[in-house]
Amino acid sequence: MDRFTTAREAALAMRPDVPVYCFRPAVLKEDARAFMSAFPGKTAYAVKTNGEPMVLRSLAEVGITAFDVASPAEFRAVREVSPDAELLYMHPVKAQSDIRLALETYAIRVMALDHEDEIAKILRIVRALDLDPADITLYVRLQTKGLAAYELSKKFGAAPAHAVELLQRLDRIGFRTGLCFHVGSQIEDPDVYERALASADWVRARAGVALAGLDVGGGFPASYGHDPKRAKPKMPSIDALMARLRSDLAEWGFSDLPLIAEPGRVIVARAFSVLVRVLLKKGKRLYINDGIWASLSDSWTGKITLPARFIPDPARKRRSGNPDGLVPFKVCGATCDSVDILSRPFWLPETVDTGDWIEIGHIGAYSLALRTHFNGFYPDTFVEVTTPFHEGDGAEGFAAIETMAD
């Protein structure tokens, strides 16, 4: 991988016409270490957030030994970079063939579920392989309610009374049991963890079975840009959030249990930026070489304002407009699809023009992981960049790439 000090240097040296992902391994390692030292338990990186081999390898190098995986491709990706890593198969609804692969080929011994029929599926394979249930820990996924930028609790999780039954059933069969939850992504209110812990405590007390662990999932917020025209979001700092979580864990009597967290976004968001090019400027519209079907997918980045840096092409000698102060541009994506228009603007200097580059920061989470081959465009060029996005010349603009109607 080519290496540059900054994305600006990469832009000027490569003059790329395709989006270029700028990977910052030092930032990734710093954010991973920060999480590991603040969380009082095992850190299991959520692979779906960004499963690139360079990410998994860096995390293994920094001492992450456990990974939250959901599919055979994720099992393989982790094992390829870290043969000894522990795989936690935390998807509550699994294909029978994937359960077999997990137990038989990958020797996975930790799984999650939220329904008795999933227990039956797992038990069938355990019996067929003649495994001892006592060697397997099954986490019952608890339903949570809360406030996160991305609410995921509607899809998975057993209601508390149902979770009690599931724990007791697992215990009768002879499995080791645990409780897990996942409060959503980019949480906005630290109370969601406390509410989930209160519910976990209720379930533990009613079930009366010995728990082998508590898994608090992911959801920890990453720091992003913020739109200067709007009120600054009241996002808890990760330190404040962790201090609160540690005290909630103690208060609800969980500090004696082995703890697991499954962070994704908070570890990997800052580790990548994407360098895009303006293919055409048409009045107040910019056509760029990326879009909602590639790195700027609406479903995950929808409520987030990303920092952006303007990188003018020095080959353009004449420019019009005021170079100071930001103006909003409507941004059209690379595909021919008419929905591929970002309905929130990018704010950039008025002088931006055809051929210029824009570096969009903090896109490491749920952005390159969600890119598609739609219309034949698939960004897949990577460089390494040594300077963190926010150092050096600051980000002049910001990209609010929300696609919901404003």
Binding site for ligand PLP (CB under 6 A): 46, 48-49, 68, 90, 182, 185, 217-220, 262-266, 365
Q: Which of 266, 131, 72 is nearest to 187 (CA)?
A: 266
**Among residues 178 and 219, whose Cβ is nearest to ligand PLP?**
219
Q: Which residue is nearest to ligand PLP (CB)?
A: 218
Residue 28 is which amino acid? L
Of 173 and 212, which CB lies nearer to ligand PLP in the complex structure?
212
CB of 110 to ligand PLP, least distance (A): 12
Select 139 or 287, whichever has its Cβ closest to ligand PLP: 139
CB of 107 to ligand PLP, least distance (A): 21
CB of 118 to ligand PLP, least distance (A): 15
* Cβ proximity to ligand PLP, 221 vs 349, nearer residue: 221
CB atoms within 10 A of CB 155: 11
Nearest approach, Cβ of residue 352 and ligand PLP (Å)? 32
C-beta closer to ligand PLP: residue 8 or 141 = 141
CB-CB neighbours of 391 under 10 Å: 10
Per DSSP bridges, beta strands 148-150 and 110-113 are: unpaired
Encode 331-351: b = buried (16+ Cβ within 10 Å), e = exposed.
bbbbbeeeebebbbbbbbbbb
For the CB of residue 40, give the shortest distance to ligand PLP in the complex, in Å: 17
CB of residue 267 to ligand PLP, shortest distance in Å? 8
**Beta carbon nearer to ligand PLP, 68 or 402:** 68
Question: CA 192, CA 207: separation in Å to the nearest integer?
Answer: 22
Q: What angle do CA 141, 146, 148 make, to 5 degrees?
A: 100
Considering beta carbons, is residue 144 or 289 the nearer one to ligand PLP? 144
Question: Cβ of residue 18: shortest distance to ligand PLP, in angstroms?
Answer: 27
Long-range CB contacts for residues 241-248, cutoff 8 Å, separation at least 24: 241/190, 241/193, 242/38, 242/39, 244/190, 244/193, 244/194, 245/39, 245/190, 245/193, 245/216, 246/40, 248/193, 248/194, 248/197
> Nearest 5 degrees, angle CA 127-CA 130-CA 133?
70
